[in-house]
Amino acid sequence: MENHGRTGVIQEHGAARSQMKKSPALKEWRRDGYLVTCDPAKADLNVVAAFLGGSYWAKGIPPALVRRSVEHSLNFILLKAQAQIGFARVITDFATIGYLGDVFVLPEHRGQGLGKWLVECVMQHPELQGFRRWILATLDAHELYEQFGFTPLSRPEVFMEKFDPNVYASPRGHQASPI
């Protein structure tokens, strides 16, 4: 990368550009027969798509769109033996900001502290440290996220959103297709 004497202006060239696009390190955490891994090969997209498709925040999301969202995120897959029982993902630039989303533990595995452990693994990932801002949206898990320093927006007047709650149901939305 060359700066050419201009503060804040970086031009990318060949090898430097390919180094910038490196994948994040695969991390794993183990506890009492459970595994949290960032290895995308261990994700069961059918489990993720089925859960998200019925969730309040992504109701009706097509499986193909779930696949695309997973492909472009840092994923945290919660496994018991080889079966996926939970999930979280981070959308990030790996430098300044992270959006934590799609966090879930399947209902039959709740009540064991696995959701808290999953978020703890996310927050401990070495490539997700030092961000100026983390954001998330939740309807019902404020107490969980508060344990990790999340608070209501301190200045909601500076945030805006473009929100289409019916995008998956509308003709202009993504068509459902198999994973």
DSSP, residue by residue, the chain: -B-TT-TT--B--HHHHHHHTPPPPP-EEEETTEEEE--GGG--HHHHHHHHHHSSSSTT--HHHHHHHHHTSEEEEEEETTEEEEEEEEEE-SSSEEEEEEEEE-GGG-SSSHHHHHHHHHHH-GGG-S-SEEE---SS-HHHHHTTT--S-S-GGG------TTTTTSTTSPPP---
Domain layout of the chain by residue ranges? 24-151
pTM of this structure:
0.83
With vertex at residue 143, the alpha carbon angle to CA 154 and CA 62, rounded to the nearest 5 degrees, is: 90
For 34-82, how does the pLDDT look when each residue is reduced to its tens digit (9 = 90+)?
Answer: 999 999 999 999 999 999 999 999 999 999 999 999 999 999 999 999 9
* Burial category of 42 from C-beta neighbours within 10 Å (exposed 0-12, middle 13-18, buried 19 and up): middle
User: Is the domain defined by 24-151 classed in CATH 3.40.630.30?
Assistant: yes
Asked whether the predicted pLDDT for residue 18 surpasses 80, the reply is no
CA atoms within 13 A on the CB side of 45: 16
Residue 166, pLDDT score: 86
- State pLDDT tens for residues 84-106: 999 999 999 999 999 999 999 99
Per-residue confidence band for 165, with pLDDT thresholds at 50, 70 and 90: confident
